[in-house]
Chains A and B, each alone.
Chain A
């Protein structure tokens, strides 16, 4: 079976606070770009599928040329192939159209694996939108893949305060969370190999997709108001300090 992992290149989380409104609006950053951390988990899940059930795991991203670095990371972790689909300013709906077309073109994809959300877009909606466009079932919040058969997948999902064991038919889209397991480190040999790889670059035309006009419009990018926090410290013995703190919290009416 073929597994395809959807990844996105996003700013390093340590540098997110440095992003300026101008950078956010233009999508061009001076900060370091890496694989979206949730997507490292998706890669891990994709690789485990390949190791446990056989088959081939590939990675795909919709992005600009620089996103090849994210694909190289996926290859270095162990993905067998990588595809770059050129973005043309699409929003989630357009990205899903491009991915759906690439998935269909790929042939016998049984499972599309995604991360839970992107650290830049923060919506977590892409797997669902992609599933609807493909007409495939979608399992979000997947903590564990319990079983994969020719025509079905069984997973554990965490939803609110429940853990559900759910079975659905293949092909399917799954989005995974952190419980899937620590992403592995790239191996030296794979890093070497990945450095030389030229991922196929597909355009919307190649995929026969007419990218729809965005349906989500974002304007007025700005920094949130700074936290008005001048910390008030309580001193003395732990008992004295704790008592004064509790008094302050009662006065704030947050207890």
Chain B
């Protein structure tokens, strides 16, 4: 099966989970091509070329600096025609999701959305995904051409730099009018690790309530030492302790880190819906009966205002930071 993998860029930089989509394709086929669309992406192009795809289609244009559903979709359709790929893969980011859904709609093709596993069965892709907020798993196949799948960030191993080289094909940007006019761009988490891409997350809940500012300062300090992202429960967000973009759970972000540290979070099912598939879960809670302990691998029953700084201290000592 021949794959075309979408390498997403944002203001010139490759979105890291794109490498996972490329890695998934390379693990399934020897016949893998990639398409990268953006503006000022020479560094990204050099990077793709080394990661094992045979051919890399490049669409570079000022109008492609930010993702634009109309333009990027038209470019992808052009490249699909040139490549003749049987399957199209993207990471299940907001933009990847939108692009794949639109491509599926236009081609009357189904999408295996947010796949956790992927395999090839004859001329079809077969995915495994979660439904009912991860409480049920299903096998998914789709009709149509190309076979389309988006992949859950952090569920697949990223393609590495193998020192390989690929043919680079420069493609003219598709000549389409976009109905979208971007009037402003603001970066919300500058300098912070993104939750969906993080391998370690430290989250705080209503347990910080007696001094929310200090509580999240302590959580940020530990996160900083671990190179971790900062998460939160809905109760912490709704109380105004931290902004919504940090919310993990049913109506927040779904995350999949190697390590999730929940401090002062009870472990409601809606919170678990967002972090239940973390590899290792650590609970810090002063209530030994809190439900979070029934999904945690490690725990400390205690006051987070004492335990979290003690963890920072231990990390400093043991990792020499």
Q: A161-B187, A161-B188, A218-B140 are in contact. Are A246 and B311 (CB under 8 A)?
A: yes
| Chain B residues positioned under 8 Å from A234 (CB to CB) | 298-300
Q: Which of B101, B252, B295 contacts A129 (CB 8 A)?
A: B101
- Report Cα–Cα, A122/B131, bound state, in Å: 6
Q: Interface size of A by Cβ–Cβ distance < 8 Å?
A: 79
A255 to B319, Cβ gap below 8 A? Answer: yes
Q: Which of A133, A140, A163, A233 contacts B299 (CB 8 A)?
A: A233
Q: Does A110 contact B (CB under 8 A)?
A: no
- Report Cα–Cα, A233/B302, bound state, in Å: 11
A227 to B318, Cβ gap below 8 A? Answer: no
- Report Cα–Cα, A246/B310, bound state, in Å: 10
A224 to B280, Cβ gap below 8 A? Answer: no
Q: SS class of chain A's interface: helix, strand, loop or mixed?
A: mixed
| Chain A residues positioned under 8 Å from B247 (CB to CB) | 178
| Chain B residues positioned under 8 Å from A235 (CB to CB) | 301
B181 to A159, Cβ gap below 8 A? Answer: no
Pick out which of these stretches binds chain A: B77-85, B109-117, B209-217: B109-117
Pick out which of these stretches binds chain B: A49-57, A73-81, A164-172, A188-196: A164-172
A224 to B279, Cβ gap below 8 A? Answer: no
- Report Cα–Cα, A110/B22, bound state, in Å: 39
Interface string of B64-75 (1 = CB under 8 A from A): 001101100000
| Chain B residues positioned under 8 Å from A163 (CB to CB) | 185-188
- Report Cα–Cα, A214/B141, bound state, in Å: 11
Q: A16-B135, A227-B276, A255-B315 are in contact. Are A133 and B10 (CB under 8 A)?
A: no
Q: Does A219 contact B (CB under 8 A)?
A: yes
Q: Does A149 contact B (CB under 8 A)?
A: no
Q: Does B46 contact A (CB under 8 A)?
A: no
Interface string of B6-18 (1 = CB under 8 A from A): 0000100001000
Q: Does B136 contact A (CB under 8 A)?
A: yes
Q: Does A119 contact B (CB under 8 A)?
A: yes
| Chain A residues positioned under 8 Å from B239 (CB to CB) | none
Q: Does A247 contact B (CB under 8 A)?
A: yes
| Chain A residues positioned under 8 Å from B184 (CB to CB) | 164-165
Pick out which of these stretches binds chain A: B54-62, B90-98, B157-165, B168-176: B90-98
| Chain A residues positioned under 8 Å from B108 (CB to CB) | 93, 212, 215
Interface string of A212-251 (1 = CB under 8 A from B): 1111111111111001010111110011011101111110
B134 to A224, Cβ gap below 8 A? Answer: yes
Q: A241-B302, A241-B307, A248-B298 are in contact. Are A138 and B185 (CB under 8 A)?
A: no
| Chain A residues positioned under 8 Å from B280 (CB to CB) | 249, 252, 254
Q: Does B120 contact A (CB under 8 A)?
A: no
The minimal Cβ–Cβ distance linking A133 to chain B, given in whole angstroms, is 6
- Report Cα–Cα, A19/B144, bound state, in Å: 31
The minimal Cβ–Cβ distance linking A249 to chain B, given in whole angstroms, is 7
A242 to B101, Cβ gap below 8 A? Answer: no
Pick the most buried of A17, A131, A154, A221: most chain B CB atoms within 10 A of its CB. Answer: A17
The minimal Cβ–Cβ distance linking B281 to chain A, given in whole angstroms, is 7
Q: Does A11 contact B (CB under 8 A)?
A: yes
Interface string of A1-31 (1 = CB under 8 A from B): 0000000000101101101010010000000
| Chain A residues positioned under 8 Å from B180 (CB to CB) | 137, 139, 166-168
A24 to B136, Cβ gap below 8 A? Answer: yes
Q: Does B119 contact A (CB under 8 A)?
A: no
- Report Cα–Cα, A159/B182, bound state, in Å: 13
Q: Which of A91, A93, A132, A140 contacts B94 (CB 8 A)?
A: A140
A238 to B106, Cβ gap below 8 A? Answer: no
Q: Does A203 contact B (CB under 8 A)?
A: no
- Report Cα–Cα, A119/B251, bound state, in Å: 9
**A interface residues (Cβ-Cβ under 8 A, vs B):** 11, 13-14, 16-17, 19, 21, 24, 37-38, 91, 93, 96, 119-125, 128-129, 131-133, 137-141, 154, 158-169, 178-179, 212-224, 227, 229, 231-235, 238-239, 241-243, 245-250, 252, 254-255
A-B contact pairs, 17 of them (CB 8 A): A14-B269, A122-B133, A122-B134, A124-B113, A137-B70, A161-B245, A168-B180, A178-B251, A215-B109, A216-B140, A216-B143, A217-B141, A232-B298, A234-B300, A239-B314, A252-B259, A255-B200
Task: List 8 tightest A-B contacts by C-beta distance, closest first.
Answer: A215-B110, A242-B310, A125-B101, A132-B105, A165-B184, A128-B101, A238-B306, A216-B110
Known contacts A122-B132, A167-B183, A216-B112; 12 additional CB pairs below 8 A are A16-B273, A17-B272, A19-B136, A122-B113, A128-B102, A160-B95, A212-B108, A219-B138, A231-B296, A239-B310, A241-B300, A242-B307
